[in-house]
Chains A and B, each alone.
Chain A
């Protein structure tokens, strides 16, 4: 390590030698930086998982344009949309097909614990609006009270889920009816429910008698090949006379949902603050270590000053220390952070995992906050007056 740093800096790696001289303090400093990294990783992991969980249900469907109520900030939020606008939209020559999408949560009494399934009511005659995995089983939903169940739903055993097939369906009570799951798909627990379920729109209306077939939660449209979604949306906005409706591309709707979850929902803001606090903790820890180190070596620094070493030399030492702390503290932080996220993911079924982009961004952030701490700590160097040595 010494030789590597010596080759890198072109001088004795005094920062490294200083840090590694007191091994107990060095280990404590690395543990501090690693702790800050773990904090950031966990908060970022939760934030990312919220993003992944938000976007996941959008993957169950395929559409080009989505029409939602004005207050529908998220897929499962907001009011209904009148089906008449679907018919109106179909009048556009570039709209190939359209369907209504119903969404609501149903409870499932699992004995020890109730779980909540976000349930989508879809038209089983329109598999083109569903992902390939789900579309293959959509015919099963023609049967009244049939369902396709999320095999990754929180609280549903792996073996129990694996056993669900048309020849060995799983029946359960919900909303006063017996629903029978004939097939499964890969979903996973989110922040708004423990998993997902797909039923036909007719089954959905049976489960929720208060809902009307004329008022789905969203309208999904597919466009003819070659059609420009922006141009179609512009025409639809003139065609549909309710100006309060949100008419967006399906992708834009997903992005809006994600932005809403991250910036408007308390959970997103809390996790965002968590990341900020992690960074601040790291900043304080590195600053404390460096500034104590500078204070402990003031006489040596003053000696170097007397010998003719200039400010750049001292800045170099402190930055070297900051980099060593940042880089070496990152490695255990990454390992522990990955372990915690994996464990949390297994327990919650949330899509919690260490991603390369997270690792890279936290690493860069660690180097930056270490350098900032180092820059602040160098202010103490001014106290090293060589005249005081005599």
Chain B
């Protein structure tokens, strides 16, 4: 694994359930994500996209095969190591999952304070700066209930990116957005990724996003069936 490689999965298999109900979701998946790349993972529902995302994101235990993330082998890694690795990642979900009782700035601060020992003032400054980058500098004190869908997702993007993560994992981040908001969010991810060297792995069904990708991986029935280099 060279220093430019952020993620390297080899011979990755995964199963759900047990006994007779046990079903294999991933079959010998191999993939590599390079630093600063913008990769789109496509495929029909149930093809295993989310499973790949959760395994790389340290949210599920690797059962078989190898996943190396930021020079750490995830297969057999201790929970504490997985938690520590997750702090170096940025997550964007289909639903914004913002905390309803925290303001936009406070939600973004949570992305900084997870690292501990960051003074409040500094965390707040970073949050306001990140919100400025996503065009919400005039909404820092707003609660999520007072933001539009696109604004909420932009807050979620700011939260994911505020601590300059090595890798951003995004699951259908534009699914609930209109065309303009979707383009805005993806452009933002791409732009901030390029500026900060952040690697992005984005799961989507949204064809509007494809022309922004450096690489498109297509997953079907738990297998990568197509790799399209666009960069």
- Using CB atoms and an 8 Å cutoff, list the residues of chain A in contact with chain B: 6, 11-12, 14, 17-18, 20-21, 297, 299-300, 302-304, 306-310, 386-387, 389-390
Write the chain B residue with the least CB distance to A6. Answer: B120
A299-B95, A300-B97 given as contacts; is B86 within 8 A of A12 (CB)?
Answer: no
In the bound complex, do residue B91 and residue A307 qualify as a contact, i.e. CB atoms below 8 Å apart?
A: yes
Q: Does B111 contact A (CB under 8 A)?
A: yes
Chain A hits for B95, CB < 8 A: 299, 389
Q: B89-138: which residues lie under 8 A (CB-CB) from chain A?
A: 89, 91, 93-95, 97-102, 106, 109-111, 113-114, 120
Pick the interface stretch among B22-30, B50-58, B68-76, B211-219. B50-58
- Contact between chains at A306 and B53 (CB < 8 Å): no
Nearest CB in chain B to that of A18: its residue: B101
- Neighbour of B114 across the interface among A14, A307, A386, CB < 8 A: A307
Instruction: Tell me if B35 is interfacial: C-beta within 8 Å of chain A.
Output: no
Query: Which B residue's beta carbon lies closest to that of A303?
Result: B97
Contact B171 A390 (CB under 8 A): yes
**Centre residue among B59, B84, B98, B102 by max chain A CB count within 10 A:** B59
Q: Do A308 and B114 form a contact, CB below 8 Å, given A17-B102, A299-B95, A389-B97?
A: yes
When distances are taken between beta carbons in the complex, the residues of chain A under 8 Å from B57 are 306
Which secondary structure dominates chain B's binding surface? mixed
Contacts of A300 in B (CB 8 A): 97-100
- A306: contacting residue among B86, B101, B102, B120, CB under 8 A: B86
- In the bound complex, how far is the Cα of B110 from the Cα of A387, in angstroms? 19
B230: Cβ under 8 A from any A Cβ: no
Decide: B91 and A387 in contact? CB cutoff 8 A. no
Bound together, the chains give a CA A387 to CA B53 distance in angstroms of 9
Check B99 against A14 for contact (C-beta < 8 Å). Answer: yes
Q: Is B176 close to A, CB under 8 A?
A: no
B87 near A307 with CB under 8 A, answer: yes
Closest chain A CB from B175 CB (angstroms): 12
Known: A17-B101, A300-B99, A310-B83. Is A390-B106 also a contact (CB below 8 A)?
Answer: no
The answer to whether A308 touches B86 (Cβ under 8 A) is yes
B83: contacting residue among A18, A21, A308, CB under 8 A? A308
In the complex with contacts A307-B111, A307-B114, A389-B93 CB distance below 8 A: yes
**Is A12's CB under 8 angstroms from B106's CB?**
yes
Q: Which of B54, B101, B113 contacts A387 (CB 8 A)?
A: B54
Q: In the bound complex, do residue A309 and residue B114 qualify as a contact, i.e. CB atoms below 8 Å apart?
A: yes
Question: Looking at the complex, which one of A21, A299, A306 makes contact with B91 (CB distance below 8 Å)?
Answer: A306
Proximity string of chain B (25-52) to chain A, C-beta cutoff 8 Å, 1 when within and 0 when not: 0000000000000000000000000100
Set of chain A residues within 8 Å of B97, measured between Cβ atoms: 299-300, 302-303, 389
Q: How many angstroms between the C-alpha atoms of A299 and B93 in the bound complex?
A: 11
* A18, A299, A308 — most chain B CB neighbours (10 Å): A308
Q: Is the CB of B109 within 8 A of A387?
A: no
Residues of B within 8 Å of A302, CB to CB, are 97
Residues of B within 8 A of A304 (CB): 110, 114
B86/A307 in contact, CB under 8 A: yes
- For residue B84, which residues in chain A have a CB less than 8 angstroms away from its CB? 308
Measured CB to CB, the closest approach of chain B to A207, in angstroms, equals: 72
Q: Does B60 contact A (CB under 8 A)?
A: yes
7 closest A-B pairs by CB:
A308-B87, A21-B101, A308-B86, A303-B97, A387-B59, A17-B101, A390-B50
- B111 touching A386, Cβ below 8 Å: no
Query: Nearest Cβ distance between residue B43 and chain A, in whole angstroms?
Result: 14
A303 CB to closest chain B CB (Å) equals: 4
In the complex, which residue of chain B has the Cβ closest to the Cβ of A22? B101
Q: What B residues does A308 contact at CB under 8 A?
A: 83-87, 89, 114
Closest to B117 in A: A10
**Closest CB-CB distance, A172 to chain B, in whole Å?**
68
With a cutoff of 8 Å between Cβ atoms, the chain B residues found around residue A20 in the complex are 101
Min CB–CB distance A222 → chain B (angstroms) = 69
Q: How far is the CB of B155 from chain A (nearest CB, A)?
A: 12
Closest to A313 in B: B114
CB of A14 within 8 A of CB of B102, answer: yes
Question: Which residues on the A side are within 8 Å of B91 (C-beta)?
Answer: 303, 306-307, 389
With A12-B109, A389-B95 given, can you name 8 additional A-B contacts, CB distance below 8 Å?
Answer: A11-B113, A12-B113, A18-B99, A21-B100, A299-B97, A300-B98, A306-B86, A389-B93
**A310: chain B residues within 8 A (beta carbon):** 83
CB nearest to B49 among chain A residues:
A390
| 23 A-B pairs whose Cβ atoms sit less than 8 Å apart in the complex | A12-B102, A12-B113, A14-B99, A14-B101, A14-B102, A17-B102, A17-B106, A18-B99, A20-B101, A300-B97, A304-B114, A308-B83, A308-B84, A308-B85, A308-B86, A308-B114, A310-B83, A387-B54, A387-B60, A389-B95, A390-B53, A390-B54, A390-B171
Kindly state the separation between the CA atoms of A237 and B102 in the bound complex, as whole angstroms.
Answer: 75
Residues on B with beta carbons closer than 8 Å to the beta carbon of A299? 95, 97
* B98, chain A: closest CB distance, angstroms: 8
Which chain B residues numbered 157 to 201 have a C-beta less than 8 Å away from chain A? 171
Bound form: Cα–Cα A389–B156 in Å? 14
Most chain B CB atoms below 10 A, which of A12, A299, A386, A390:
A390
For residue A159, give the distance in angstroms from its CB to the closest CB of chain B.
59
- Closest Cβ of chain B: how far from A290's Cβ, in Å? 15
Q: Which residues of B contact A17 (CB under 8 A)?
A: 101-102, 106
- B83 proximity list for chain A (CB < 8 A): 308, 310
- Give Cα A302–Cα B99 distance, bound, in whole angstroms: 11
